[in-house]
Amino acid sequence: MDLDSLPIAGIPPTLSAVAADIRKTADDAKLIPPLQVAGPIPANAVSSVPWIICLRSEAPNQTPAPTYSLFFKENKLVSSRLSVIVDHCEGQVFSRL
């Protein structure tokens, strides 16, 4: 495999630049604050979107809280969905947004 032919992931998103997108996704998903995030982490190699930020609620009345994967490219939210195993969100260290 020629490493030069692999796509470049680019610069990971910064939380300060994408916080509004994260909060809007949380609102749309009806996640109750306080919110927790992990990442950015590299997306699966077959993904056309290079970065994932994992999102969940820390609210005690929202347990078990679903975890969402937010996909970013160049500090722009491309899509989001409930996390799946290949996203590797469950093994991440989360902190408050």
Backbone angles phi, psi at 18, to 5 degrees: -115, 10
Strand order across the 51-57 sheet: 76-82, 68-73, 51-57, 35-42, 95-96
Q: By three-state DSSP, how is residue 18 classified?
A: helix
In the chain, where the domains are located: 9-52
Of the listed ranges 28-32, 35-39, 57-61, the one predicted with least confidence = 57-61
Q: For 13-34, what is each residue's pLDDT tens digit? A: 999 999 999 999 999 999 999 9
| pLDDT given at position 4 | 43
Q: Which of 1, 64, 71, 79 is nearest to 32 (CA)?
A: 64
Whether 62 shows a pLDDT value over 90: the answer reads: no
Task: Report the first-to-last Cα separation within the chain, whole angstroms.
Answer: 39
Q: Which of 46, 42, 43, 41 is nearest to 6 (CA)?
A: 46
Q: Please state the pTM of the whole predicted model.
A: 0.85
